[in-house]
Structure 1
Amino acid sequence: MSVTPTKRLTVGISGASGSVLALGLLRYLKAEPDWETHLVISKGGVRTLEHETRITESQLADFATRVYDREDVGANIASGTFVTEGMVIVPCSMKTVAGVSHGYSDNLLLRAADVTLKERRKLVMVARETPLSAIHLRNMLTLAEAGAVVMSPMLTYYNHPKSLDDATNHIIGKILHEFGVEAENFKRWGARECVTPLRALS
């Protein structure tokens, strides 16, 4: 009898604003029995997480299947032989964008992303910064040319968000879509409830 293998997703959190996106993603996948999450968080990521959500690194660990020391470059997720569905870095700082785009793997988060690219697995980078400098744009172009998905957490209006949670959950739904997971209540363009006549805006 064949058994459906558990799917693994490497989740990186770096020091940009938007750590609530990572928290929501981990919470969602924790309830999915077919998925494991393998988490690594940078020093900046810890600081931002605690500032924005009041959740500590140790509390966040409860939502992940396994958590790794950011300095342990010999961990499972640092090797291409450890099979995953890919990796998401959410939120992703411009420092992390620069490190991955230049192959500068001086910690486990950057090394895991480097491995994801070299193994031709999906790498989603939820890059959070505004405005963007020419340096940021060049680095993101390099990543896109290398096969990464650069996903800025943009507000959308066609789904008629009624709260910040609605806007946050929409971004989480877009991230999950990249890995073949259909999030509950994710509103796609064209759905009847997502269409508003222009006259309603006047």
Structure 2
Amino acid sequence: MAETRSRKIIVAITGASGACYGVRALELLSRAGVETHLVISKAGDRTIQEETGMTSKDIKALATVVYPAQDIGAAIASGSFITHGMLVAPCSVKTMGEIATGITSSLVSRAADVILKERRRLVLMVRETPFHTGHLRTMTKLSEMGAIIAPPVPAFYAKPENLEEMVTHTVGRVLDLFEIDTPDLNRWQG
């Protein structure tokens, strides 16, 4: 895998269920020596509290740099801020729609829009089910624009013994998309 020491990755946590994916991504990226730039949407903040038993302060402590969700003047809102990409984990349907239309109302969607226009890696862990045709069309549009749609679907060949192992494997596979190797990942051996 590619060298990770000098990498910068934007991580966004939005209001869809699955805040644990964003938290685990921050933990694994930190272990890999990757500089993380975190933004949490207002709904993401609520989801963190509802699902993880952690506070936003706890989550923010895992990141290298943290930005307020409404700070559209933040460094990550500019293409001149060099990153290796952005992970939205989880990605709400609302956020996905804003990114697809280019009508950005927050730093999360603005940063994602910048990532797309700069032709950098954008990975969206879309967390909604079932998908209706509008969701699927939006995903197709984003894929055509260069985004990678990676819903958090567990891989049972890894034989996870608990929820933490399942989340770690899923996030590890997503980090593979950024060429970041995580030793915690139980890879298929054939």
Q: By how many angstroms is 1:93 displaced?
A: 0.5
Partner of 1:130: 129
Unmatched tracts of structure 1, length 5 or more: 193-202
> CA 1:31–1:188 in structure 2 vs 1: closer, same or farther (change >3 Å)?
closer
Q: How does 1:1-202 map to 2 (within 5 A)?
A: 6-33=6-33, 35-189=34-188, 191-192=189-190
- 1:9-34: per-residue Cα shift (whole Å, max 9, x none)? 0111100111111111111122233x
Task: Report how far residue 157 of structure 1 moved.
Answer: 1.4
- Structure 2 vs 1, CA of residues 58 and 135 (structure 1 numbering), >3 Å: closer, same or farther? same
Instruction: State the TM-score, normalizing by the size of structure 1.
Output: 0.89
Residue 139 of structure 2 aligns with an amino acid whose one-letter code is M
Give 3-state SS (helix, strand or coil) of 1:70's partner: coil
Distance 2:150 2:31 in 1: 24
Root-mean-square deviation (Å):
1.3
Structure 1 pair 136–122 and aligned structure 2 pair: CA distance change class (3 A): same
User: Residue 63 of structure 1 aligns to a residue in which SS?
Assistant: coil
Q: CA deviation at 1:187?
A: 2.4
Shift of 1:5: 6.6
SS at match of 2:156: coil
CA distance in structure 1 between the partners assigned to 2:55 and 2:44 by the alignment: 11
Q: 1:40 to 1:157 in 2, by over 3 A?
A: same
More RCO (CA 8 Å, sep 6+)? 2
How many residues are aligned here?
187
Call closer, same or farther: CA 1:61–1:185 in 2, change over 3 Å.
closer
User: Which is higher, the Rg of structure 1 or of structure 2?
Assistant: 1
Sequence identity of aligned pairs in percent? Answer: 42
